[in-house]
Chains A and B, each alone.
Chain A
Amino acid sequence: MAQTTTSKSGAHGAHAAHEAHHDHHELGYLSKYIFSSDHKMIGIQYGVTALFFLLFGFFLVGCMRWQLAYPGRAIPVVGGLLETLLGKDMAAGGVMQGDLYNAFGAMHGTIMVFLAIVPLAFGAFGNFVTPLQIGAPDMAFPRLNMASYHFYFFGGIVMFASFFIPGGAARSGWTSYSPLATTAQFGQAFNGQTAWLIGMVLLINSSLLGAVNFITTIIQLRTKGMSWMRMPFFVWAQFVTAFLLLLAFPPLEAAGVLQLMDNVFHTSFFLPTGLVVDGAQLPVSGGGSPLLWQHLFWFLGHPEVYVLILPAMGIVSEVIANSTRKPLWGYRPMVYSVITVGFLSFIVWAHHMYLTGMGTKISTFFQTTTMMISIPSVIILTALFISLWGGSIRFNTASLFALAFLPMFGIGGLTGLPLGFNASDIFLHDSYYVIGHFHYVVAPGTIFGLLAGIYFWYPKATGRFLNETLGKIHFWGSLVCMNLVFAPMFIQGFKGMSRRMYDGGATYFAETDPTALKLNIYITHSAIALGVFQLPFIWNFFASLFVGRKVTNDNPWDATTLDWATPTPPPHGNFTHQPVVYRGPYEYSVPGAAKDFSPQNQPS
């Protein structure tokens, strides 16, 4: 606590000086919107860019789903455009070719994880909300924060541009397994995979800068009275997430550089001796290990799953506490659980690799740790469920998305257990069951959490509310369609449908099990409907900036945390006076209190 006390005074001093300095300082357009070092603007930059990539990632999979439902048929509306932009080898006659399917598949995963969800969950919400919730005037390193966004932005540009280079974008899966990733376009000096690796290095640098900044900010810039156990759960989630990024990404960055060497300079870090491709031995020295790539990738890959989910859990916790008008049930166990999840997430990665033949002892170890990590995850989810008990729930769009997160993430998590056991994973591995499982975690799970956050904090960021009617159309349409899209995938997986089939499995199922193929068509129609139900949100998001109902109160949701103690929208420097924290984060409906919420900065 000594450290905290010191930091508080430091933060206070910095804050006061900052305000004195900035009181009458008007920022120019470039400084305010492009080269901003204000955490809120950077958060919004992250958010808008990430939402663009979310839409783009959805477009990619929309094209893929068309091919899966109607193999060989020209993609409506955009097929001709794809042929014009990407050439006949990619979309002859508007028909998605195999190479394009592979490229879109690899880039859908990459874009959704590294350019959409993580930047939205960590970059946007983390940046915008964390300093506000801990009572800080900004992040600890504002310029580092700006650099973090710029690295991310350039990483995104490289990834996006890679679609248009000769040979197209990376096509070896979002996991870029060696030796496939190196040999897929072997001999082409600069190919999609090279661009992918350069893009990844930029994105990883962005995350590392962000992680260092978040950790420092949360440790050093908590305001007076904001002890560890008075921190909102959202901040705890971001804190653990930052450690995951900081510790898990560097091995992948190193691996990325090594694979870049394999691709460009024909080294053999991940290429085995005597590798034969297309009937000819590859002209490389060999002696490398393809398994090493998998280990390094999944050492990031699995903590990355928690990078996706923890911020969403944080958002959902804030919204649920606020909308139930109750303290979170089991705040402390939730905090201990999120820390435990963070630690355990580093020792479960090889459950993605049961089929590599790494041995039963290793498999048993990772199977055990995987089962263990489900315990703290279940504690958090259970605490959130119990928090609903006896609550007088305010059903608005934000709370609906947060409430839907619980069962959706529950389905996603529980369907992961059969994949964690290596005996059942052998059957389910690489099938549509896996696709169903992790999409339940990330799409109706994490994305619903993030949408809850957008509806919840939009009034603070813009000074206007999002339209509730459009919001509810968005919510109910998304909830129904998400389930129609992903639930049938479990059935397809049990039927043995491989996740990699360019023709949707028609070659194997047309005669033996046509039902599995019909599901492809239903899923595609549902995905299109899901896209249609995002239109009200897109309209709402932009139109409400101008016509949304104005916020008349700095704390429109009657919330308790410090993010609502700022002017709306918060000015540069955030608070008019340095806030002092007197109580825990969720003091709702305190017996004897005048109102049903007691803000953290309200003296006892």
Chain B
Amino acid sequence: MLMKTTLQFAAVLAIFAAVSILQAGDVTGKVTLKGDAPAEKEITPLAKDPNCGKSYSKPATTRHYVVGADKGLANVFVYVKKGLEGKTFPAPAEKPVMDQKACLYQPYVLGARAGHPVVIKSSDDFMHNVNFAASKTGNDTFNFAQTKAGQANEKIFKNVEVLAKLQCNVHPWMFGYIGVVDSPYYGVTDASGKYTIAGLPDGKYTLAFVHLKAGEVLQEFDVKGGASVNATLEVK
């Protein structure tokens, strides 16, 4: 009798848990840029560098405002800034990867979890160093070099840092940025300005849209089985 009751209770719990998992959804949206972005500059030293220059048939440019169709703004780091306080999350299944390819960081902006490893690799067959100067957040400074394509190192940012700046001193135009947050709910806008944050449980949140040049915009919103949140950033 006792056994039967326990099983029934467990079944109810399982159904309840399944329903509560179902009560989550993807947050999607688009970030657009207001105003005319200044023209990107050609990276002259990259073109002149004997190792890097040969990878480009046309000159590489800066990536300050990468604007796509309908003014969609790429490289905006989007994350849940408020609404998840006190919650813990399982470790990510995959490690985010920052690549150094043809003397540029790819992607330009990456998202990562605090306390979990980020893979920093090189696809170039010559030396880059990855220099990260910790800000006041208590992350560890690091500076290491990679000399061969395929080399990869894992680094852990202990604390939240938006955006952590990586720099190569061998090629001083190379900068890459990592948005380090303490939840799995973040995304980066693609070339058309769109982003997706998957599986955010129902609730009330504040979303932050962070762009290197255009700054930060906050949006409050509710999730009920998903949400669509758009934002507009202005040229600065």
Q: Report A's interface with B, CB cutoff 8 A.
A: 67, 71-73, 88-89, 92, 95, 97-99, 278-280, 502-503, 506-507, 510-512
Cα(A507)–Cα(B148), bound, Å: 11
19 other contacts beyond A92-B153, A278-B143, with CB at 8 A cut-off? A71-B127, A71-B147, A72-B148, A73-B148, A92-B154, A97-B144, A97-B153, A98-B129, A99-B144, A278-B131, A278-B133, A278-B134, A278-B141, A279-B133, A502-B127, A502-B147, A507-B126, A511-B50, A511-B54
Task: Point out the residues of chain A lying under 8 angstroms from B20, CB to CB.
Answer: none
Q: List the B side residues contacting A511 at CB < 8 Å.
A: 50-51, 54
CA distance A511 to B150 in the complex (A): 20
Q: 8 closest pairs, A vs B, by CB?
A: A72-B148, A511-B50, A71-B147, A278-B133, A98-B145, A72-B147, A503-B147, A503-B127
Asked if B189 is at the interface (CB within 8 A of a chain A CB), the reply is: no
User: With a CB–CB cut-off of 8 A, which chain A residues contact B151?
Assistant: 72, 95
Residues of chain B in range 172-204 having any CB-CB distance to chain A below 8 Å: none
Q: Of all chain B residues, which has the CB nearest A509? A: B50
Establish whether residues A510 and B50, one from each chain, have CB atoms under 8 Å apart when the complex forms.
Answer: yes
Find chain B residues with CB under 8 A from A73 CB: 148
Q: Which residue of B lies closest to A99 (CB)?
A: B144
Question: Does B146 belong to the interface (CB within 8 Å)?
Answer: yes
Task: Please report B residues at the A interface, Cβ cutoff 8 Å.
Answer: 50-51, 54, 126-127, 129, 131, 133-134, 141, 143-154, 170
Cα distance A297–B31 in the bound complex, in angstroms: 59
CA–CA, A444 and B141, complex, Å: 42
* A120 vs B153: C-alpha distance when bound (angstroms): 41
Given known pairs A71-B147, A506-B127, A511-B50, the reply for A88 and B133 (CB within 8 Å) is: no
Q: Which residue of A lies closest to B140 (CB)?
A: A187
Give Cα distance in the complex from A278 to B170, angstroms: 15
**Which chain A residue has the least Cβ–Cβ distance from B142?**
A89
A95 to B170 Cα, complex, angstroms: 20
Nearest chain A CB to B224 CB, angstrom units: 44
Given contacts A278-B133, A279-B133, is CB(A510)–CB(B145) below 8 Å? Answer: no
Q: Is the CB of B144 within 8 A of A507?
A: no
Looking at the complex, which one of A71, A92, A507, A512 makes contact with B170 (CB distance below 8 Å)?
A507
Question: Are B145 and A506 in contact, with the CB atoms below 8 A?
Answer: no
Q: Which residue of A lies closest to B133 (CB)?
A: A278
Distance (whole angstroms) from the CB of A514 to the closest CB of chain B: 11
Interface centre among B141, B147, B154 (most CB of A within 10 A): B147
**Residues on the A chain within 8 Å of B145, using CB:** 97-98, 502-503
**Complex Cα–Cα for A98 and B170 (A):** 13
- Asked if B144 and A506 make an inter-chain contact with CB atoms under 8 angstroms apart, the answer reads no
Chain A residues within 8 Å of B133, by CB: 278-280
Do residues A507 and B141 form an inter-chain contact, with CB atoms below 8 A? no
Q: 12 A-B pairs, CB-CB below 8 angstroms?
A: A67-B147, A72-B146, A72-B150, A88-B154, A89-B144, A92-B152, A95-B151, A98-B144, A278-B133, A278-B141, A280-B133, A511-B51
Residues of B near A503 (CB, < 8 A) are: 126-127, 145, 147
Distance in Å from the Cβ of B160 to the closest Cβ of chain A?
A: 19
Nearest residue, chain B, Cβ from A502: B145
A507–B154 touching, CB < 8 Å? no
List the B side residues contacting A97 at CB < 8 Å.
144-145, 153
* Closest Cβ–Cβ distance, residue B140 to chain A (whole Å): 10
**Alpha-carbon gap, A88 to B145, bound state (A):** 13
B189 to chain A, nearest CB (A): 28
* A72, A97, A279, A511 pick with most chain B CB within 10 angstroms: A72
CA distance A228 to B50 in the complex (A): 64
Q: Which residue of chain B has the shortest Cβ distance to A73 in the bound complex?
A: B148
Q: How far is the CB of B41 from chain A (nearest CB, A)?
A: 23
Q: Which residues of A contact B148 (CB under 8 A)?
A: 71-73, 95
Is the pair B51, A510 in contact by a Cβ cutoff of 8 Å? yes
How far, in whole Å, are A512 and B147 apart by their CA atoms in the complex? 17
Q: How far is the CA of A73 from the CA of B145 in the complex (A)?
A: 13
CA distance A502 to B54 in the complex (A): 23
For residue B149, which residues in chain A have a CB less than 8 angstroms away from its CB? 72
A278 CA / B130 CA spacing, docked (Å): 12
- Give, as a whole number of angstroms, the nearest-CB distance from A503 to chain B: 4
What is the CA–CA distance of A459 and B110 in the complex, to the nearest angstrom? Answer: 69
Cβ of B39 to closest chain A Cβ, rounded Å: 28
CB-CB < 8 A to A92: which residues of B?
Answer: 152-154
List residues of chain B with CB within 8 A of the CB of A279. Answer: 133
